Chain A
């Protein structure tokens, strides 16, 4: 019986995978999204090479310099700067904004991905258990999910951080908790649909235990909606990390975190709009990258389009 599953699964998987990839590549917005994400991941990884130096160190001699990228040549001369010095400008502490935005990508992407992975793991297990065992167990799972869904995500995250205390780690925990019910619902409904399928019945007849059936048969076959959801909610998670940072509940200053940077610039928007614009654009681009890819992935994985 191990042979049977081992030989059929990879064939199905690879053909599906190839199919999906082919359709994803036909999707221009999907390619755009993927390109943005790859760019962000690379720039986050190579931030220390792209912009060497400490993103936290203040230099009060170079405060509030507007972006040299768009500065007029006369201004550049007057300040004795060259175009590449501070492409995105500096903040009130005299820190290079490009460096901080690049390093900020490290925090946002890491926390965003981690939050989603944690939520997915917990949510999937809950969904599998509820869907497979049914009855009171399922009622409990549904009850839990309903409670979590009753609150708007960001509000729930804020309340959780308020209880745990503001920090980046607690923001990560809070965001992943708010995302658990999404995964539970997806996996539970897939499980319910697959529970009665012939191959599950066959596995049961052959005497497989619940863990083997759930993780070996049901989970692999409910992966595609999960993948779409992961892509989509990474964008949401990045946005939530920034929102909590902005509210002072996530990363703490002087951290180079996009939300913290926007709140730094918030009170100086009149005098120095670039302080908020640079991290704001970074959030916008990374979130839209994940959303575009997520949209494309949903289209590509939608069985109705087969």
Chain B
């Protein structure tokens, strides 16, 4: 009898343990847990390593995380952060100003002992946000200074009004200096994992299968509601949906927008999306080459496409048509629809430009699905059909994603599709990522006045001033039409009904999961 009770007790324990495990299906396993750049890497990583600045629940509004408060100097070129006291990394290393400096120096300084970028580490995400490594053209972080145990100061190369927004980017989780030193170049890989201060602790990463995190019971903040999280990589959105349906995963991230009805009508799970996502998909035209060097051809291109119909067809309720490059929810927008669907006008413009019978060209579409184009081929086929209607006969082409991302900058693609999910919540992250001097090459676009406007807008002190500058930029982009803004999608996630507390924000599902609870 005793043994039976023991057995039952053991079974009950197994039962609760199973209930306490949250299984998350995402489109792939992490590339690395150490400062990755894609959602599949960052969503698990951010559970373990925390940033100085985080976001309010479900929003892109910055709020304290490991830093409790901060202040800039007069021209926003020096920022001082006051750190949370009494926090330590889960390996026992104390969290203090030294640890913050260690992390930023490791990313910023190419000759840092634990940088390893020349040996194959990838801190590209750091260079996205901060303009490059120390000494690169355009780098932004000059030095990091330890003021006292819990005060750290960032000296920047110029004024940046949105520095806390940059720090809130999911890339900049802070790692235990001791663990980084012990792991060396292997730090962040399946065999070593990562150590942070977050609500979960890295447990195991079975390459090609799963990443397992366990609750940090000594977490300084709200202790997590589930005991373990298992992240699984399931490439196809259809398969993720099927697994969600079967109950073999509790949450399916990044489902196809076309599945919205299935998810919304299910009695076992429900759709969860942020209120708006800082994501844009656009269609690029390479204007260094004929025929897109002619503004009239680019305008004809814009008038030829019924964006509304395409977005309706392939994104359903979860997206809106984009008319400018800064997505809704950020400042610096003009809020206008400059190029309505008008195929007649498109034909006229083509004729004026010397193409009364149209022309042949190539339209390169993305080989992979991304939040901005979850079904790239479908969108490409529909767009190509609209273009053919006015005489722009575009052959659909694609190639390996890695090469694609290099080739668009080289001007190999007359027309192509691409997009952007924000690193941080500021218009600069969109405008600079497309149109600063280096990135405007992707459109064969060279407009020095615009480049000056962009750097002015980056450095301007007041919000009102910045807003005005971004509106000027929007007007230039509307007039020059280097690319056609296409869609502002929202990501669809499916969550089973016994799981609560998942609040994706405008930057994606890279949010702490300690708010999530799971009922039996």
Contacts known (A57-B388, A93-B385, A254-B384); A271 close to B258, Cβ less than 8 A: yes
CA distance A274 to B313 in the complex (A): 18
Interface residues of B in 215-238 (CB under 8 A from A): 236-238
Q: Give the docked Cα–Cα distance between A254 and B387 (Å).
A: 13
- CB pair A253–B385 under 8 Å, yes or no, is no
A57 to chain B, nearest CB (A): 5
- Fill in one digit per residue for B367-393: 1 if any A CB lies within 8 Å of its CB, else 0: 000000000011011101110110000
Q: How many Å from the CB of B393 to the closest CB on chain A?
A: 10
CB-contact partner of A60 in B312, B384, B389, under 8 A: B312
* Cα(A93)–Cα(B306), bound, Å: 13
> Are A268 and B258 in contact, with the CB atoms below 8 A?
yes
* B262 at interface, CB cutoff 8 A: yes
Chain B 253-267 near chain A by CB (<8 Å), digits 1 or 0: 000101000100000
Is A267 within 8 A of B388, CB to CB? no
The proximity string for A residues 85-110 relative to B, scoring 1 for CB distances below 8 Å and 0 otherwise, is: 00000001100000000000000000
Query: Is A271 in contact with B396, judged by CB distance below 8 angstroms?
Result: no
Interface size on B, residues (CB 8 A): 26
On whether the beta carbons of A93 and B238 are closer than 8 Å, the reply is no
| Smallest beta-carbon distance B237→chain A, Å | 8
Question: Does residue A56 face the partner (Cβ distance < 8 Å to B)?
Answer: yes
Q: Does any Cβ of B come within 8 Å of A189's Cβ?
A: no
The reply to whether A253 and B388 contact each other, CB–CB distance below 8 Å, is no
By a CB distance below 8 angstroms, the chain A residues around B395 are 252
A254 cross-chain contacts in B, Cβ below 8 A: 381, 384-385, 396
Contact residues, B348-406 vs A (CB, 8 A): 377-378, 380-382, 384-386, 388-389, 395-398
Residues from 202 to 253 in A contacting B, C-beta threshold 8 Å: 248, 252-253
- Could you say which residues of chain A place their CB within 8 Å of the CB of B310? 60
Does the CB pair B397–A57 fall under 8 Å?
Answer: no
What per-residue 1/0 map shows which CB atoms of A117-132 lie under 8 Å from chain B?
Answer: 0000000000000000
The docked-state distance in angstroms from the alpha carbon of A253 to that of B256 is: 20
A297, B312: Cα distance in complex, Å:
53
Q: Is the interface of B mostly helix, strand, loop or mixed?
A: helix
Cα-based distance from A267 to B385 in the complex (angstroms): 21
Chain A residues near B306 (CB, 8 Å)? Answer: 60
Given contacts A92-B378, A270-B262, contact A60 B309 (CB under 8 A): yes
> Closest residue to A269 on the B side, CB-wise?
B238
Note all chain B residues with C-beta closer than 8 A to A248.
398
Is A27's CB within 8 Å of the partner chain B? no
Known A60-B309, A63-B313, A252-B396; contact A271-B262, beta-carbon cutoff 8 A = yes
CB atoms of B382 and A58 under 8 A apart? yes
- A63–B381 CA distance with the chains assembled, in angstroms: 13
Q: Please, which residues of chain A bring their CB within 8 A of the CB of B397?
A: 252
Chain A residues contacting B236 (CB-CB under 8 Å) are 267
Q: Which residues of B contact A267 (CB under 8 A)?
A: 236-238, 256
With the chains together, A60 CA to B398 CA distance in Å?
A: 23
Closest to B238 in A: A267
In whole angstroms, how far apart are the Cα atoms of A253 and B389 in the complex?
17
Q: Which chain A positions have C-beta within 8 A of B258? A: 268, 271
Bound complex: CA of A20 vs CA of B306, how far in Å? Answer: 60
Q: In the bound complex, how far is the Cα of B378 from the Cα of A185, in angstroms?
A: 44
- Kindly report which residue of chain A lies nearest to residue B308, judged by CB atoms: A60
Q: Is A253 in contact with B309, judged by CB distance below 8 angstroms?
A: no
Give Cα A267 to B235, complex, Å: 12
Question: A93 and B381 in contact (CB under 8 A), knowing A252-B397, A253-B396?
Answer: yes
Q: Given A60-B309, A60-B313, A63-B313, A253–B262 Cβ distance below 8 Å? A: no
How far is B310's CA from A254's CA once the two chains are assembled, in angstroms? 16
Q: Please provide the chain B residues from 269 to 325 with a CB less than 8 Å away from any CB of chain A in the complex.
A: 306, 309-310, 312-314
Q: Residue of A at shortest CB range from B365?
A: A253
A interface footprint on B164-179 (CB within 8 Å = 1, 0 otherwise): 0000000000000000
Chain B residues with CB under 8 Å of chain A are 236-238, 256, 258, 262, 306, 309-310, 312-314, 377-378, 380-382, 384-386, 388-389, 395-398
Q: A60-B313, A93-B382 are in contact. List 15 more A-B contacts (CB 8 A).
A: A58-B385, A60-B306, A60-B312, A63-B313, A92-B313, A92-B378, A93-B381, A93-B385, A248-B398, A252-B395, A252-B396, A254-B384, A254-B385, A269-B238, A270-B262
What residues of chain A have their CB less than 8 Å away from a CB belonging to chain B? 56-58, 60-61, 63, 92-93, 248, 252-254, 267-271
Closest 6 CB pairs of A and B: A58-B385, A60-B309, A254-B381, A60-B313, A58-B382, A267-B238
9 example contacts (A-B, Cβ-Cβ < 8 A) are as follows A57-B385, A58-B381, A58-B382, A92-B314, A92-B378, A252-B396, A253-B381, A254-B381, A267-B256
